[in-house]
Chain A
Amino acid sequence: MLSTAVVLAGGRGTRLRPLTLTMPKPLVPVGNVPILDHILTLLKLNGFEKIVIAVNYLGEMIRRHILEKYDGYGMEIVVPRIKPLDTADAVRKCRDFIDGDFLVVMGDVLTNMNLREFAQFHEEKGGIASIALIEVPSLLDFGAVILGHDGRIIHFIEKPSSPEIYLVSLAYTRFPQNISKLYSNLANTGFYALSYKILDILDENPYLMDWGRHVFPWLLENNYEVYGWDAGDIYWADVGRPHNYLRANFDLLEGLVKPLKPKGREVMPGVWIGENAGVDPKAELRPPVAIGDGSRIAARAVVGPFAVIGDNVEVGEGAVVERSVVMNNTRLRAQVNVTYSVLAKNILVEEGAVIKGFSVIGEGVVVKSNYTVQPNTVIEPAIRVLEKVRKSGG
Chain B
Amino acid sequence: MAASSVLPIYHNRIYGVANSQLTPEVTAELGAALGTMLGEGSLVVTARDLYPPSRMLKRSFSAGLMSTGISVIDFHDATLPEIAFAIKRFGAKAGIHFSVAPHRNDSVQIRILDSNGIEISFDKLNDLLMLYDTKHIVRTIPPRIGWVSYAEYIHDIYTASITSFLDTAPINAARPRIAVDVNFGPATDVLPMLFSEVGVRFILLNSHKPSPRNPPRQLPSLESMKMLANIVDASDSLFAAALSSDASQVFMIDDRGRILDPDTLIGVYAMTLPRGAKLAVSESTSRVVDKIAEIQKITLLRVKGMVGDVARAVRRLKATLGATDAGEFIFSQFTFSSDGILAIGKLIETLTIEDISLSTIVDSIPKIPTFHLEIDIEKKRYSSIIDHVYSNYQDVVLTPVHVKYKVGETWIKLRYDEEKEKLRIETDDTSKEGRETVKKIADELEELAQSFV
Contact = CB atoms under 8 A, between A and B. Distances in A.
Interface of A: 137-140, 162-163, 165-166, 169-170, 172-174, 176-177, 179-185, 233
Given A138-B115, A185-B88, A162 B164 contact: no
Contacts of B168: 177
Nearest to B193: A173
Contact of B161 (A162, A163, A166, A176): A176
Residue among B90, B92, B149, B197 with max Cβ neighbours from chain A (10 Å): B90
11 contacts: A140-B91, A163-B149, A165-B89, A172-B160, A173-B153, A176-B159, A176-B161, A177-B164, A177-B168, A181-B164, A183-B165
B116 A183 contact: no
A131 B447 CA distance: 69
B151 interface: yes
B417 interface: no
Contacts of B156: 170, 173
B160 A185 contact: no
B140 interface: no
Residue among A140, A163, A165, A176 with max Cβ neighbours from chain B (10 Å): A176
Q: Is the interface of A mostly helix, strand, loop or mixed?
A: loop
A233 B149 CA distance: 34
A182 B161 contact: yes
Given A138-B115, A163-B149, A176-B197, A169 B89 contact: yes
Contacts of A139: 89, 91
B162 interface: yes
Nearest to B154: A166
Interface in B294-348: 318, 333-334
B157 to A, nearest CB: 5
A173 B155 CA distance: 10
A177 B88 CA distance: 21
Interface in B103-137: 115-116
Contacts, number: 69
Residue among B88, B89, B92 with max Cβ neighbours from chain A (10 Å): B89
Contact of B334 (A162, A169, A183): A183
A176 B165 CA distance: 9
B190 interface: no
Interface residues of B, number: 28
B92 A162 contact: yes
Contacts of B159: 173, 176
A137 B164 contact: no
A183 B164 contact: yes
Residue among B88, B92, B115, B164 with max Cβ neighbours from chain A (10 Å): B164
Contacts of B116: 137
B265 interface: no
A183 B81 CA distance: 13
B400 to A, nearest CB: 29
Contact of A165 (B91, B115, B334): B91
A170 B153 contact: yes
Contacts of B163: 176-177, 182
Contacts of A169: 89, 157, 160-161
B315 to A, nearest CB: 9
A174 B157 CA distance: 9
Nearest to A178: B164
A180 B89 CA distance: 15
B164 A176 contact: yes
B9 interface: no
A353 B267 CA distance: 56
B73 interface: yes
Contacts of A179: 160, 164
Contacts of B334: 183
Residue among A137, A173, A181 with max Cβ neighbours from chain B (10 Å): A173
B182 to A, nearest CB: 21
Nearest to A170: B153
A152 to B, nearest CB: 16
B334 to A, nearest CB: 6
B43 interface: yes
A184 B89 CA distance: 8
A165 B153 CA distance: 13
A166 to B, nearest CB: 6
B91 A176 contact: no
Given A137-B116, A176-B197, A162 B90 contact: yes
Contacts of B90: 162, 165-166
Given A166-B151, A182-B165, 13 more contacts: A137-B116, A138-B88, A162-B73, A162-B92, A166-B73, A169-B157, A169-B161, A173-B153, A176-B161, A176-B164, A179-B160, A183-B161, A183-B333
